[in-house]
Amino acid sequence: MEIEHPYLLFLGDAHDQLAAKTAQGIVDWRADWCLGQLRLEGCKADVGLREMSIQDAAAQGARTMVVGVANAGGVLPDHWIDSIVQALDAGLHVATGLHIRLSGIPRIADAAERAGRQLHDVRYSDQRFATGKGHKRSGMRLLTVGTDCSCGKKYAALALEKEMRAEGLDADFRATGQTGVFISGRGISIDAVVADFISGAAEWVSPDNEAGHWDVVEGQGSLFHPSFAGVTLGLLHGSQPDAFVVCHEPTRTRMRGVEHPLPTIAQVIERVVQNGSLTNPDIQCVGLAVNTSALGDAEAERCLAELSEEYGLPAADPIRNGVSSVVAELIRRFPKG
């Protein structure tokens, strides 16, 4: 799917800042696509945009109202429906990353048909995917992988795309999750794809391209996570990466949501190479993206230095100090890529 911007970000009556993490991610990486925010009474989240009504946003050129809230169960509260219908009647498309389908709510479906506007449920797609074939494709690909889920793979991929472009590389971020789709305006929520077609969907999102072009593919889950390893493996096989970056949160000892111990970075590199070589025998790790948000400045600097020395790879925090060292390593290893 492709989502038209500029966006009006709908925060509803989000109960805290974390509930608006989808909107925050969009603002962090695509602020120039955002016109304003719409908050209902009692909203406790704020992503720092201008307060705008639906009518003002439409008059100033907004194309899509994005429901930028993530909540338990991915539900759409009944009292948000009026705002969504108003947006459609004002000529805006509407997009959400919730589990409930907008088209399944009669008032919203009727309003969209009446206004001739699109409803984007980014967790779902009308695209039909083939099974993965594993054939070598033209162009280059980089995948972010993790020691765990929710450790910074999306932010790392976006930071890599930005730095690669700054260095003159032809690079595009390829979204595989709902927030990433909003940030890029296109992509597929890979966790909603039927299992047999995950690798095929990954091939679809990173197709044949020019010889020097890089697709920077947003990773999902972890090969070591008992809940999400299946999605991770399908994405690895289908994206067929030439290079990968390991994302890591150094203060964790258990994997998120389960009791399994966190794997070492060395274990992740070994398994990614072993499994990834099925569709790309030349796959290699080019760096580490470390989420040091739980560490102080001095501790974070020491952590990055120690990891870099231990693994012989550049280690960087994409938010704290950028990924220039990782991109430099990528260019060194793939001078023609």
Task: Please count the helices (runs of H) and the strands (runs of E) in the chain.
Answer: 11, 11
* CATH number of the domain enclosing 190: 3.40.50.300
Query: Do residues 177 and 64 both lie within one domain?
Result: no
d(CA 296, CA 180): 28
In what helix (H) or strand (E) does residue 35 lie, and over which residues does it extend? strand 34-39
Domain boundary among 60, 93, 121: 121
CB-based burial, 175-204: b 16+ in 10 Å, e otherwise: bbbbbbbbbbbbbbbbbbbeeebbbbbbbb
pLDDT number for residue 96: 94
pLDDT number for residue 72: 64
Query: Do residues 147 and 227 both lie within one domain?
Result: yes
Q: Would you tell me how many other CB atoms lie within 10 Å of the CB of residue 133?
A: 11
Query: Do residues 287 and 150 both lie within one domain?
Result: yes
Q: Where are the beta strands (DSSP E) in 210-283?
A: 213-217, 243-248
Nearest CA among 140, 147, 192 for reference residue 161: 140
Residue 133 placed within a domain: no
pLDDT number for residue 70: 81
Whole-structure pTM value? 0.86
Domain boundary among 94, 121, 148: 121
Residue 226 placed within a domain: yes
Which residues are CB-neighbours of 41 under 8 A, at least 6 positions away?
13
Residue 126 placed within a domain: no
Residue 222 placed within a domain: yes
Residue type, 278: L
Query: Do residues 301 and 259 both lie within one domain?
Result: yes
Query: Do residues 99 and 167 both lie within one domain?
Result: no
Per-residue pLDDT of 2-31, as tens digits, reads 789 999 999 999 999 988 989 999 999 999
In what helix (H) or strand (E) does residue 65 lie, and over which residues does it extend? strand 64-67
pLDDT number for residue 1: 64
Domain residues for the domain of 161 are 140-333
Find the radius of gyration of the CA atoms of the chain: 20
Q: Would you tell me how many other CB atoms lie within 10 Å of the CB of residue 291?
A: 25
Residue 130 placed within a domain: no
Query: Do residues 31 and 92 both lie within one domain?
Result: yes
Nearest CA among 156, 191, 127, 78 for reference residue 314: 156
pLDDT number for residue 239: 98
d(CA 297, CA 46): 27
Query: Do residues 177 and 243 both lie within one domain?
Result: yes
* CATH number of the domain enclosing 65: 3.40.50.720
Residue 89 placed within a domain: yes
pLDDT number for residue 75: 85
Query: Do residues 263 and 310 both lie within one domain?
Result: yes
By the 10 Å C-beta count (0-12 exposed, 13-18 middle, 19+ buried), 294 is classed as exposed
Per-residue pLDDT of 55-109, as tens digits, reads 999 999 999 999 999 876 678 999 999 999 999 999 999 999 888 899 999 999 9
In what helix (H) or strand (E) does residue 204 lie, and over which residues does it extend? helix 198-205
DSSP track, 137-190: -SSEEEEEEESSSSSSHHHHHHHHHHHHHHTT-EEEEE--SHHHHHHHSB---G
Per-run averaged pLDDT (10 residues), the chain, 337 residues:
90 92 92 97 97 98 95 84 98 93 96 97 87 96 96 96 97 94 88 94 97 97 96 98 98 92 97 98 98 96 98 97 98 90
pLDDT number for residue 129: 94
Domain count across the chain: 2
